[in-house]
Chain A
Amino acid sequence: MKSWLLVISTAAALTAAETVVIRNARVLPITKPEFRGSILIRDGKIAEAGEKIAEPPGARIIDAAGQYVMPGIIDAHSHIATESTNEMTLSVTSMVDIRDVINPEHVSIYRALAGGVTTANILHGSANSVGGQCAIIKMRWGKGLQGILFEGAKPGLKFALGENPKRAGASPELRGTAATPRYPATRMGVEDVIRQAFTEARQYKKEWEEYRARIARGADAPPPRRDLRLEPLVEVLEGKRMAHVHAYRADEMLMMLRLAEEFGFRVRTMEHGLEGYKIAREIAAHGAGITTFSDWWAYKLEAYDAIPFNAAAMLRQGVLVSLNSDDVVTQLCAHLNLEAAKTVKYGGLTENEALALITINPAKQLEIDHRVGSIEAGKDADLVIYDKHPLSSYARVQKVLIDGQVYFDRDRDATERAEREARKKQLLEKQREQPKKQAPARRPS
């Protein structure tokens, strides 16, 4: 409710698509070498980026002298702005859709923006072997649910391996809210649950194919009964939906790669993949991406072999790697640039390779790289302006643009604080007055 104040003040400053020029900037396009120059934005897209470009008359000018511009950060694994994360009751809940619980007015979206994040993949939690359907959003603060969904993005499905999905099968003190233990309780069981789900999905797919074939032949046949749980799994089998698999240990990742190969689909990304460095060549050969943390470790047993060199080691062995926040409320995602900097420190990635981990690489992993992830003509004008090089500990986000519109402006945020405080005070006073006006009506008992 409180964040509503932010919504109105920011939304008021947004205007319809216009022509914008960011000039005098040090531009980090990611897919090309760094240069000093300008970016021309037209109709929300990058029209041109180069050392010298003609500024069309009437264009809005953003002078970025001494500042750095890079593509908006893409957080490939996040839970921000969700009202709930795990449908705990079953271990296969492919029918649930995260869009049903996204709150587009959650302040986390604004704070993610303030950290330079323009796009995020919002997933379910990892309590279930199959968690549910994910959604890619853009941080279009103030635009409502339809406004924040990344239009045309391929849908995803969350899977989970290891400690989390087996926890519900554990003893009472460990299994949390579940009253009775739930299968699976081991990694063996998790594999079985997922294989069972895909076996059913394959059968279901076959029923529909046979039905369609009969109809095509002109025969009369009753359609199979629709199964909303199996449909998303069929889409995974058909390559129409991306499989995002939460996994920590090398053994469980290898299991999932082989299981996917058995069923003829590709794991799009392993989520976290903290032991990915142990089987980087197998992951690369399968063609899965890994979205990981820079240096988290030891918070649970399956994170004890996590190393900060993981991202660099996997990248060097040909794995498509990104860094994510796993945020529930905006915290780490507002500093993903510094998480990227850690891969320069641990493993010696180049600065550009490091920044790719939070821009073009996650864009490729989410199959939205034709739209976002680099500064190239034709792509969405999703940009972050920093006052210092984004890998510096002292860098601060100054402005964030999505589709060419300024959604975050540090100076404006600062100047509007007094106004917001005053509005808040007014509202609180109103709230205090209310009980007096609405004296409880006496009802006959």
Chain B
Amino acid sequence: MIRLVLCCAAALPLAAASADTFVLRGATVHPVTSPPIENAILYVKDGRIAGLGAKLAAPKGVRLVEAKGLHVYPGIIDSATQIGLSEIGAVRESVDTNEIGNFNPQLKALSAVNPASEHIAVTRANGITAALTMPGGGIIGGQAALIHLEGWTWEEMAVRPSAALVLRYPVLESGTARASTRTPALPLAERRRNLEKQLAELRQFFEQARRYQKAKQAQAAGFRTDLKMEAMLPVLEGKLPVLVFAAREKAIREAIQFAEREKIRMILADPRQAVPVAGELKAKNIPVILGPTMAAPLEEDDPYDRVATTPAELHKAGVKFAFGTFATSSSRNLPYQAANAVAYGLPYEEALKALTINPAEIWGVAAEYGSIEIGKWADLMVTDGDPLEVRTQVRQLYIKGKPVDLDNRHKRLYERYTARPSSNAR
């Protein structure tokens, strides 16, 4: 399909004036996978990076975008959000994240993404061009999608329609009463039984999926299509990675064993005690999606900066990771999550990678996204400084080489009420 677009473009003389072909001139370009180039010429043709260099001659007849004094980075990827699935957290009717039932591998986040969600424009205004949006709920919540934060329909937004299966590794339920649901705490013995039951169910679910796989391959008599089981096939075949939520050291170790036993491709999500397990994560090539670095440490007697120093520690141990906000309305703050890791020891270049090329690799789209390299799609953010600094402004944004509107609900409300006429005063 891409090839088709290209030959159509070549056939049309108007192609030179199309929005996704231009030259960005004079900026410092940070390709992420190679050193920055000052005063660069960046040539984008039909939405893709076609040329980059300090001494590159600007192709003739192509629209010029002056960017002197500005900086160009690959668009940021938030590796954990519920953008498009959740509009207003407390309004149930506007939330489509958690389905009923413990095992729902057949659910797809993508087709529930609301392209008109206000979160999309708010988030991308700070340079986030793509996000993983995840279903939650139960043990297997469904399939997460990698989406562009731009598009008229979810089809247009899709980067990777099914990027990972979301699995919450079962853990012992909390021993404190839940006031919000008026549920009293269960006794320890009962919580243990519940956990063992859930773990057994999880094992059985995978066993059942393997039997289904065999029956399907054998074209067994009486074989019937089962949508849950069908959804497990790409997982069993190693085509679809599993994003496994496990916070504490014990759960992480168990989850790693589980992934080994079931031979699944594991990506660890939001670990809070990953450092003691770093050696194993590295040895088994398990990438990690790291949550907010400004969160409170898990334990009362943890050092105050434990969460902030975790990315640096994982980097030292050679673990590959990307950052995710595990949020929706605060996804725009992802760069500052990375910055705080830099303040507490992570090399700056690694922080940038964990926002761009690392997530592209983890989600299987690095051939097309995640850095500024010839042939890749031009998902670009143009800033007036270091994007990890809060005070920096995003000046331009491109998704697949097309300029993206930076206007959003917040700017509109600001402008509207700033213009409130004074005659209305009491």
Q: How far is the CA of A96 from the CA of B361 in the complex (A)?
A: 55
Q: How far is the CA of A297 from the CA of B90 in the complex (A)?
A: 11
What are the residues of chain A within 8 A of B301 when measuring CB–CB?
2-3, 5-6, 107, 420, 424
A392 touching B389, Cβ below 8 Å: yes
Interface membership of B8, Cβ < 8 A = no
Beyond known contacts A111-B296, A297-B329: 7 more, CB 8 A cutoff: A277-B414, A282-B425, A309-B414, A313-B417, A329-B296, A345-B391, A394-B343
Q: A177-B182, A281-B425, A298-B119 are in contact. Are A111 and B304 (CB under 8 A)?
A: yes
* CB closest chain-A residue, reference B410: A307
Partner of B88, one of A6, A301, A417: A301
- Chain B contacts of A91 at CB under 8 A? none
Tell me if A308 is interfacial: C-beta within 8 Å of chain B: yes
Cα-based distance from A46 to B55 in the complex (angstroms) = 57
Q: Which 3 A-B pairs have the closest CB atoms?
A: A393-B339, A300-B90, A341-B390
**B318-358: which have CB < 8 Å to A?**
328-330, 332-333, 335-336, 339-340, 342-344
- Assess whether B390 is in contact with A342, with CB atoms less than 8 Å apart: yes
B-contact bits for A275-298, CB 8 A (1 contact / 0 none): 001100110010000000001111
User: Given A278-B417, A342-B390, are A393 and B340 neighbors across the interface (CB < 8 Å)?
Assistant: yes
Nearest CB in chain B: distance from A128 CB, A:
15
- The CA-CA distance from A331 to B87 in the complex, in Å, is 24
Task: Say yes or no: A282 contacts B333, CB within 8 Å.
Answer: no
B96 surroundings in chain A (CB, below 8 A): none
Task: Answer yes or no: B217 CB below 8 A from chain A CBs.
Answer: no
Contact in complex: B417, A277 (CB < 8 Å): yes
State in angstroms the CA–CA spacing of A341 and B180 once bound together: 34
Interface hits, A28-48 → B, CB 8 Å: none
* Pair A2/B294 contact, Cβ less than 8 Å: no
A313 touches B294 (CB 8 A): no
Residue of A nearest to B177 (CB): A177
- Per DSSP, chain B at the interface is loop
CB-CB under 8 A from A341, the residues of chain B are 389-391
**A330 lies within 8 A of B390 (CB):** no
From 311 to 366 in chain A, residues with beta carbon under 8 angstroms from any chain B beta carbon are 313, 329-332, 334-335, 338, 341-342, 344-347
Q: Within 8 Å of chain B (Cβ to Cβ): is A27?
A: no
Tell me whether B426 and A282 are in contact (CB under 8 A).
Answer: yes
Contact B296 A299 (CB under 8 A): no
B89 within 8 A of A: yes
Question: Which residues from A are CB-within-8-Å of B328?
Answer: 298
Chain B residues in 8 Å Cβ range of A5: 301
Give which listed residue, A114, A285, A394, contacts B342 with CB less than 8 A: A394
The reply on A99 being an interface residue by CB < 8 A is: no
A259 at the interface (CB under 8 A from B): no
Cβ A393 vs Cβ B303 within 8 A: no
Which residues of B in the span 282-337 have a Cβ within 8 Å of any Cβ on A?
294-296, 299-301, 303-305, 328-330, 332-333, 335-336
B329 CB contact (under 8 Å) in A298, A391, A420: A298
- Does A176 reach chain B (CB closer than 8 Å)? yes
Number of interface residues of A (CB under 8 A): 53
Could you tell me if A301 and B90 are in contact, using CB atoms closer than 8 angstroms? Answer: yes
**Can you sample 27 A-B contacts with CB below 8 Å?**
A2-B299, A2-B300, A111-B296, A111-B304, A177-B179, A282-B426, A295-B330, A295-B332, A295-B333, A297-B410, A300-B88, A303-B88, A307-B414, A313-B414, A331-B294, A331-B295, A334-B294, A341-B390, A341-B391, A344-B391, A345-B392, A345-B393, A393-B336, A393-B339, A393-B340, A393-B388, A396-B344
For the complex, is A263 an interface residue (Cβ under 8 Å from B)?
A: no
> Across the interface, which residues of B come within 8 angstroms of A107, CB to CB?
300-301
Across the interface, name the chain B residue whose C-beta is closest to A338: B390
Residues of B within 8 A of A278 (CB): 417, 420
Q: Which of B137-193 contact A (CB under 8 A)?
A: 179-180, 182
Contacts of B90 in A (CB 8 A): 163, 299-301
Interface centre among B304, B344, B413 (most CB of A within 10 A): B304
Asked if residues B329 and A296 are in contact (CB atoms below 8 Å), the reply is yes
- Which of B303, B328, B390, B420 lies at the interface centre, i.e. has the most chain A CB atoms within 10 A of its CB? B390
Assess whether A413 is interfacial by the CB under 8 Å rule: yes
The reply on B418 being an interface residue by CB < 8 A is yes
Is A305 located at the chain interface by the 8 A CB criterion? yes
Q: Are A299 and B329 in contact (CB under 8 A)?
A: yes
The reply on B91 being an interface residue by CB < 8 A is yes
Nearest A residue to B338, CB-CB? A393
Q: Which residues of A contact B391 (CB under 8 A)?
A: 341, 344-345, 391
C-alpha gap A7/B294 in the complex (Å):
23
Tell whether A300 pairs with B91 under 8 Å between CB atoms, given A344-B391, A413-B303. yes
CB-defined interface of B77-94 with A at 8 Å, one 1/0 digit per residue?
000000000011111000
Is A159 in contact with chain B by the CB < 8 A criterion?
no
Task: Determine if A110 is an interface residue (Cβ-Cβ < 8 Å).
Answer: yes
Q: Are B294 and A344 in contact (CB under 8 A)?
A: no
User: Closest approach, in angstroms, between the C-beta of A163 and any C-beta of chain B?
Assistant: 8
Chain B residue at minimum C-beta to C-beta distance from A115: B304
- Given A3-B301, A295-B333, A313-B417, also A300-B390 (CB < 8 A): no
Known: A176-B182, A296-B330, A393-B390. A413 touches B343 (CB 8 A): no
Verify A345–B390 contact, CB threshold 8 A.
Answer: yes
Q: How far is the CA of A266 from the CA of B295 in the complex (A)?
A: 36
In the assembled complex, which residues on chain B have CB atoms less than 8 Å from the CB atom of A305?
Answer: 413
Nearest to A330 among chain B residues (CB) is: B296
Bound CA span A331–B118, Å = 26
CA distance in complex: A295, B340 (Å): 18
Residues of A within 8 A of B118 (CB): 298
Q: A159-177 vs B: 1/0 string, CB under 8 Å?
A: 0000100000000000011
Q: Which of B88, B182, B342, B392 contacts A298 (CB 8 A)?
A: B88
Cα–Cα distance between A308 and B422 once the two chains are bound (Å): 23
Least CB distance, B265 to chain A, in whole angstroms: 33
Whole-angstrom CA separation of A307 from B88 in the bound complex: 14
What 0/1 pattern do residues 362 to 377 of B give for CB contact below 8 A with A? 0000000000000000
Using CB atoms, name the residue of chain B closest to A331.
Answer: B296
Which residues of chain A are within 8 angstroms of B299 by Cβ–Cβ distance?
2
State in angstroms the CA–CA spacing of A307 and B335 once bound together: 19
Report the minimum CB–CB distance from A300 to chain B (whole Å). 4
B-side contacts of A2, CB under 8 Å: 299-301
B122 shortest CB reach to chain A, Å: 8
The 0/1 profile, CB within 8 Å of B marked 1, for residues 105-116 of chain A is 001001100100
Contacts of A392 in B (CB 8 A): 389
Taken together as a complex, chains A and B put the C-alpha atoms of A277 and B419 apart, in Å, by 11
Chain A nearest Cβ from B303, distance in angstroms:
6
| A278-B390 Cα distance, complex, nearest whole Å | 25
Q: How far is the CB of B338 from chain A (nearest CB, A)?
A: 9
Closest to A173 in B: B181
At the interface, yes or no: A395 with Cβ under 8 Å from chain B?
Answer: yes
On chain A, the residues within 8 Å of B303 by CB distance are 413, 417
The residue that A300 contacts in the complex, of B89, B179, B342, with Cβ under 8 A, is: B89
